[in-house]
Structure 1
Amino acid sequence: MTVENPRRALAVVFGIVFIDLLGFGILIPVIPLYALSFGASEFVGSLLIASYSAMQFLAAPFLGRLSDTRGRRPVLLVSLTGSVVAWTLFGLAGSLVVLFLARMLAGAMGGNIATAQAYIADITPPEDRAKGLGLLGAAFGLGFVFGPALGGFFASETVLSVARDVLPAVVPVSEFTLPSFAAAVITAANLLLAFVVLPESRPPEERDDVPVQERESRLQQLRDALTTEGLGALVVSFFLVSFAFSALESQFIFLTNDQYGYGATENALLLTYFGVVIAVVQGGLVGPLTERFGEYRLAIVGAAIQVVTLAAVPFAPRLAPLVPNVGRLLPVGPTVPAAIVALFVVVTPLATGNALTNVSLNTLVSRAASADDQGGAFGLTQSAGSLARTFGPALAGALYTGIAFWSPFVAGGLLMIPIVVLLSTVDRSTLTEG
């Protein structure tokens, strides 16, 4: 650990990852509808969503190894530069092909998370490493909460009207392009911040020159984890949770567009609400509930909640007659349609169940690993999640277009059932629960 002020460096990395994810989150409510605007089907739009995670999974090990030999700082700076190019190209895309190329470039640059994790490992002692990596996870969460809200802001008609008056005529302004340019500007500011204040954590004399072929691949690490007693069932459970939830994430905007006529701004508000619920549960409820019931039970309860609520999402409008007539929810403002209230009734426990399961599974994976393998344990869950978010949206898009609008959500709910079964096979004596 050679950084003079590790706490400051940790705060800087937190800020870099947060702003990086903020730029990514801005486009979450935009991407599916952007693809549809080029005449793409929901399946092709789902492939566009999945392309980011696929490239991230492939690029993360390469960028991580490159940072071992070339240093963390230059890799982070180059990846941020690439993200600026990707999001700018995304806004200028005149065809679906360019949209895919920009999205894939952004995914490859998003592989810098492996470098950020390595940076934290450099500047924190082993006993504090899990906390540092947990802080990185918090940056992820905050980026996903505030990113969609900003995306909705930049896609709103008021902001678009101002942009059309202020920006040169050569700049294309729409509900899809303006959030893309905003993500590029935010990432550029992030690049400037990193260039000015981020120190190198790995000086030349400490850099690793081990040949690439001598290192274990992420797939090999996953295979090894699957054969490890206790850990295998937890990693598979995490993969299934991520796979099922990616079906919701990738098809939710298509669904709300079809059922409610929602565009980028309305979907941004829904996704922001979803993220806030997850943040509140993770930040305020998980701790007390864990002390009372333990992570193992919370993981099972969270999965059980999602069995029902994931499957119920596409049928929310049919639940409207069961919702009490709330009229105006506030003294002023528009009346909220019963179908929308029913949707909130479904997604609130869904977000709660997802938060309970994700946090609990991460903690159980951490407890199944030794003190020296905490970083590797978190890397395993990230690898499993990346794979799930690569294949999950593609399958969900095929179900949405090939079978029925409700099929990917029902399939996602059904995937939660094996999680309950798998967790029942875990040897709980190896886990120290509260």
Structure 2
Amino acid sequence: MNEEADDDPSEDGVPVPGMTRRRVVGTLFLVIFLDLLGFGILIPVIPLYAKFFGANEFVGSLLIATYSLFQFAGAPILGRLSDERGRRPVLLLSLTGSVLAWTLFGLAGELGSVIGAANGLVVLFFARALAGAMGGNIATANAYMADITSPEDRAKGLGILGAAFGLGFVFGPAIAGLVSSPAALSLFESVLPAAVPVSEFTMPSFTAAALTAGNLVLAFFVLPEPNRRERTTVGNESRLRQLYDAVRSPDIGSLVVAFFLASFAFSAFESQFIFLTSDRLGYGTAENAVLLTYIGVLIAIVQGGLIGPLTDRFGEYRLALVGAGIQVVTLALVPFSLSWSFVPALGPVESGAVALALVSTPLAFGNALTNVSLNALVSLNADADEQGGAFGLTQSASSLARTFGPAAAGLLYVAIAYWSPFVVAGLLFVPILVLLGLVARGSIESTADA
């Protein structure tokens, strides 16, 4: 499609009458980015917020997993609803629910006593479940993008949404670190009414709610309803059944299992990372936000800039192997790096934190390689008429992994030792290497072989 046609609102099949396709895609990108920005802000907050209410690492991990569980359940429902009622109403509904969820998250301490709960932990779980159900709007966002792009441009459009996800995960923790800093909290206490609870946990929650509310207003006024080409979200078959059939497939079965294990292992690392730094380094929300932002920037650099040239040179198969091999070592080293006294301190940053950042650098690189390459391999080896289903398969596998991974990791943290979930996460990449090795490389289609 040439540039003139892309900008011509009179083009046949234009997604929204009177608007260029580029403008509609840009608007959808902004809406999804702001939605994920609100989600990203809460990443450094959730584990320590749970501990504030007396939860141990296992219960805190269950709180983390609740989002993915309800997202997995909610995505097909919102997808079907968007087929029946329209994309725009469902996106507006999900944003409204997210505003409510993040507001409840910030008011958990106050509301817990009102409803007669022992503490605000019950409110946190309810808010997290609501946010997860509303986070199922990714199926609707993908369907919206499919509506406004031609089949040959669909992969590019979904890549744009992927970029919105990545940027939300980078800037979200950074904003959390900013609004939870001592200077910011002091400012909030001086300007906000006394009725508003101010803490390192509540202010990121209220910031996420405020950003999402602004996003809701933006979407209401500028996000149009597209001309739908067809039903593009979900079929009649359940997501669990689709996963089961995919695992049995000789073409992509091993790849789907490998993608699930990779997502499971990395979600185990993510969920226990803040518990680890809190217990071993005494870090709070602001300090953890800096570390998470660093990791997020590294992953974004690889996914956004390096992965293309590397894929052209080596292909997805080799990159998946290299990324998995890196993570076997680096994930297992994470908890032990905090005691590396031979690593010098860097100004005010103690040696343990410097060592953790050093280990996290190749870890982030390996994760980006593995995640993108396995996702691409699933798509490349699916039939041409099953590309949408392939994308849904990796999403479903990721949601399930992010449900069970944090729960299992939290149990290991409490039942065995702080280092155990990280070592087990690293060891999980060994079967990924085995799975990729057992599949004859000649039977795996890769762009480097084209």
- TM-score w.r.t. length of structure 2: 0.91
Match of 1:90 among 76, 95, 105: 105
1:296 and 2:317 correspond:
yes
Deviations 1:135-165 (A, max 9, x none): 1111111100000000111111111111111
Structure 2 residue identity aligned to 1:378:
F
Measure the CA separation in 1 of the matches of 2:386 and 2:232. 21
The residue correspondences of 1:120-199 to structure 2 (distance < 5 A) are 120-199=145-224
Shift of 1:369: 1.9
Measure the CA separation in 2 of the matches of 1:199 and 1:38. 42
Measure the CA separation in 2 of the matches of 1:335 and 1:35. 28
Measure the CA separation in 1 of the matches of 2:59 and 2:350. 31
Measure the CA separation in 2 of the matches of 1:396 and 1:293. 33
**Is 1:238–1:384's contact at 8 Å kept on the other side of the alignment?**
yes
**Is 2:143–2:232's contact at 8 Å kept on the other side of the alignment?**
no
**Is 2:96–2:213's contact at 8 Å kept on the other side of the alignment?**
yes
Shift of 1:284: 2.3
Residues 53/209 of structure 1: CA separation in 2 closer, same or farther (3 Å cut): closer
Shift of 1:134: 1.3
The residue correspondences of 1:247-286 to structure 2 (distance < 5 A) are 247-286=268-307
Measure the CA separation in 1 of the matches of 2:53 and 2:348. 34
**Is 1:72–1:202's contact at 8 Å kept on the other side of the alignment?**
no
Measure the CA separation in 2 of the matches of 1:156 and 1:385. 32
Structure 1 residue identity aligned to 2:107:
L
**Is 1:12–1:198's contact at 8 Å kept on the other side of the alignment?**
yes
Q: Any idea what SS the aligned residue of 1:320 has?
A: coil
**Is 1:155–1:176's contact at 8 Å kept on the other side of the alignment?**
yes
Query: Aligned residue for 1:347?
Result: 360
Measure the CA separation in 1 of the matches of 2:403 and 2:443. 34
Measure the CA separation in 1 of the matches of 2:446 and 2:357. 36
1:374 and 2:395 correspond:
no
Residues 283/208 of structure 1: CA separation in 2 closer, same or farther (3 Å cut): closer
Query: Aligned residue for 1:58?
Result: 73
Shift of 1:258: 0.6
Structure 1 residue identity aligned to 2:263:
S
The residue correspondences of 1:351-366 to structure 2 (distance < 5 A) are 351-366=364-379
Measure the CA separation in 2 of the matches of 1:185 and 1:43. 30
Shift of 1:371: 3.2
Measure the CA separation in 2 of the matches of 1:144 and 1:120. 21
**Is 2:148–2:227's contact at 8 Å kept on the other side of the alignment?**
no
Residues 270/118 of structure 1: CA separation in 2 closer, same or farther (3 Å cut): same
Measure the CA separation in 1 of the matches of 2:366 and 2:196. 43
Match of 1:19 among 13, 30, 34: 34
Deviations 1:380-422 (A, max 9, x none): 1111000000000000000000111001000100000000111
Query: Aligned residue for 1:28?
Result: 43
1:424 and 2:449 correspond:
no
Structure 1 residue identity aligned to 2:310:
L
Match of 2:326 among 305, 308, 312: 305
5+ residue gaps, structure 2, are: 1-12, 110-119
Structure 1 residue identity aligned to 2:445:
L
Match of 1:386 among 396, 399, 421: 399
Match of 2:24 among 1, 4, 9: 9
Deviations 1:240-260 (A, max 9, x none): 011000111100000000110
Residues 338/115 of structure 1: CA separation in 2 closer, same or farther (3 Å cut): same
- Cα RMSD (Å) of the superposition? 1.7
Measure the CA separation in 1 of the matches of 2:144 and 2:350. 49
Structure 1 residue identity aligned to 2:23:
R
1:410 and 2:423 correspond:
yes
Query: Which shifted more, 110-119 or 214-223?
Result: 214-223
Structure 1 residue identity aligned to 2:87:
R
Measure the CA separation in 2 of the matches of 1:190 and 1:341. 37
**Is 2:317–2:446's contact at 8 Å kept on the other side of the alignment?**
no
Measure the CA separation in 1 of the matches of 2:263 and 2:39. 18
1:216 and 2:231 correspond:
no
Measure the CA separation in 2 of the matches of 1:341 and 1:208. 50
Shift of 1:433: 3.1
Matched length = 422
Q: Any idea what SS the aligned residue of 1:318 has?
A: coil
1:319 and 2:340 correspond:
yes
Measure the CA separation in 1 of the matches of 2:288 and 2:200. 12
Match of 2:137 among 99, 109, 112: 112
5+ residue gaps, structure 1, are: none
Structure 2 residue identity aligned to 1:165:
S
Deviations 1:237-285 (A, max 9, x none): 1110110001111000000001100000000000000001111111222
Measure the CA separation in 2 of the matches of 1:336 and 1:106. 35
Measure the CA separation in 1 of the matches of 2:306 and 2:256. 24
**Is 1:129–1:375's contact at 8 Å kept on the other side of the alignment?**
no
Structure 1 residue identity aligned to 2:337:
A
Shift of 1:425: 2.6
Shift of 1:208: 5.6
Query: Percent of aligned pairs with the same residue?
Result: 69
Measure the CA separation in 1 of the matches of 2:80 and 2:439. 33
Measure the CA separation in 2 of the matches of 1:263 and 1:209. 43
Query: Which shifted more, 309-318 or 177-186?
Result: 309-318
Query: Aligned residue for 1:80?
Result: 95
Measure the CA separation in 2 of the matches of 1:369 and 1:134. 18
Deviations 1:170-216 (A, max 9, x none): 1111000000000000000110111011111146xx77699x9x711
Measure the CA separation in 2 of the matches of 1:101 and 1:336. 37
Shift of 1:312: 0.6
